[in-house]
């Protein structure tokens, strides 16, 4: 599949789509993904998507499948093209031709409590230790961690305010005493280094007026995992998975975990029951009960 740059001169169609996405408040990374997928569709057609036919849409999806595109890539392209056809081009007939591909859900990779401790200890400095602490201690997504502001930390109510998370929803996340202490250590260090601006980003990037990028956070997690000798594939979302799994193993109600994670559906949260090993180990097999009953009867006989 063609690997087109999305930074070439803006066509009238792209500008219209950019305007449509801006009006509807789509996030910057979503806009870039949508434009990238539309560019690939245009490259496949060899002409403007405005001229697309139902057969073109079908052929493009067949091409994606035969090229070995993953289900998530195909479904992401479907979302982009549906927006293009439904909103920008007012061609809902084409949008209806797009087929979502079933994406089998895999049990998420999680770290043990000991591995999380080693990962945090291996973080290169207090800023990154605090950022990873938020990802694990509050169960936040990478983009939610990087877009936190100093004012989002509510030490009075012991809450972290997450504004415009996934699905453009606001929610409160938990702020534990240990996490608050870790954040205070970073705040004092950031003030000393004059990188912590009033009402500014909690984790500023190289330019203090901009937040740390999710790519930077991803790189730090991988480097810390390597330094800690963790051989599992680790990324920022692994810490969120571990947060949910460890709460489940502590017998926290699954609906409370759903609320803390900001999941719309309980089914999404229930996926963590597949990896909550302590919960599984705590369950007595019916076979064990049966054998105990049989042994009891044999002893009575």
Q: Which residues participate in catalysis according to the annotation?
A: 141, 166, 237, 240, 263, 272
Query: What's the burial of 33, exposed, middle or buried (CB within 10 Å: 0-12/13-18/19+)?
Result: middle
CA–CA separation, 137 and 118 (whole Å)? 14
Note the residue count of the chain: 301
CA distances from 215 to 32, 121, 206, 218, 285 (A): 15, 21, 13, 5, 44
| Ranges of H-type helices in the chain | 12-23, 28-45, 54-66, 71-83, 92-95, 113-121, 126-137, 142-146, 177-192, 214-227, 236-249, 254-261, 266-270, 277-281, 286-300
Sheet with 159-162, side-by-side order of all strands: 153-154, 159-162, 171-174
Alpha-carbon span 153 to 140, nearest angstrom? 13
Taking alpha carbons only, the member of 79, 67, 72, 102 closest to residue 26 is 79
Answer yes or no: are the C-beta atoms of 214 and 142 closer than 8 Å: yes
CA distance 83 to 80: 5
The dihedrals phi and psi of 149, each to the nearest 5 degrees, come to: -115, 160
153 φ, ψ (degrees, to nearest 5): -90, 110
d(CA 232, CA 110): 9
């Amino acid at each position: 599949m063609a690997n087109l740059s999305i930074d070439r001169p803006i066509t009238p169609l792209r500008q219209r789509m950019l305007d449509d996405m801006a009006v509807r408040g789509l996030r910057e990374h979503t806009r870039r993904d949508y434009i990238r997928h539309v560019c690939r569709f245009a490259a496949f057609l060899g002409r403007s998507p405005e001229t697309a036919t139902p057969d073109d849409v079908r052929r493009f999806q067949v091409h994606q499948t035969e090229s070995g595109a993953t289900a998530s890539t195909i479904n992401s392209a479907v979302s982009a093209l549906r927006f293009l056809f439904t909103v920008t081009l007012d061609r809902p007939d084409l949008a209806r031709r797009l087929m979502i591909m079933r994406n089998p859900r895999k049990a998420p990779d999680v770290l043990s409590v000991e591995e999380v401790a080693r990962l945090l200890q291996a973080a290169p400095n207090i800023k990154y230790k605090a950022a990873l602490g938020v990802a694990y201690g509050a169960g936040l997504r990478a983009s939610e961690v990087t877009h936190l502001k100093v004012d989002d930390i509510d030490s009075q109510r012991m809450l972290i305010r997450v504004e415009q998370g996934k699905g453009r929803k606001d929610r409160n996340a938990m702020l534990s005493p240990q996490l608050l202490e870790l954040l205070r250590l970073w705040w004092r260090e950031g003030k000393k280094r004059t990188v912590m601006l009033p009402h500014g980003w909690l984790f500023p990037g190289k330019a203090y007026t901009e937040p740390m990028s999710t790519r930077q956070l991803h790189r730090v997690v991988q480097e810390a995992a390597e330094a800690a000798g963790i051989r599992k594939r680790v990324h920022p979302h692994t810490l969120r998975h571990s947060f949910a799994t460890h709460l489940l193993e502590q017998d926290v109600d699954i609906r409370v975990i759903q609320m803390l994670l900001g999941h719309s559906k309980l089914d999404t949260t229930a996926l963590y029951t597949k990896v909550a090993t302590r919960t599984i180990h705590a369950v007595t097999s019916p076979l064990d009960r049966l054998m105990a009953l049989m042994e009891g009867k044999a002893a009575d006989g």
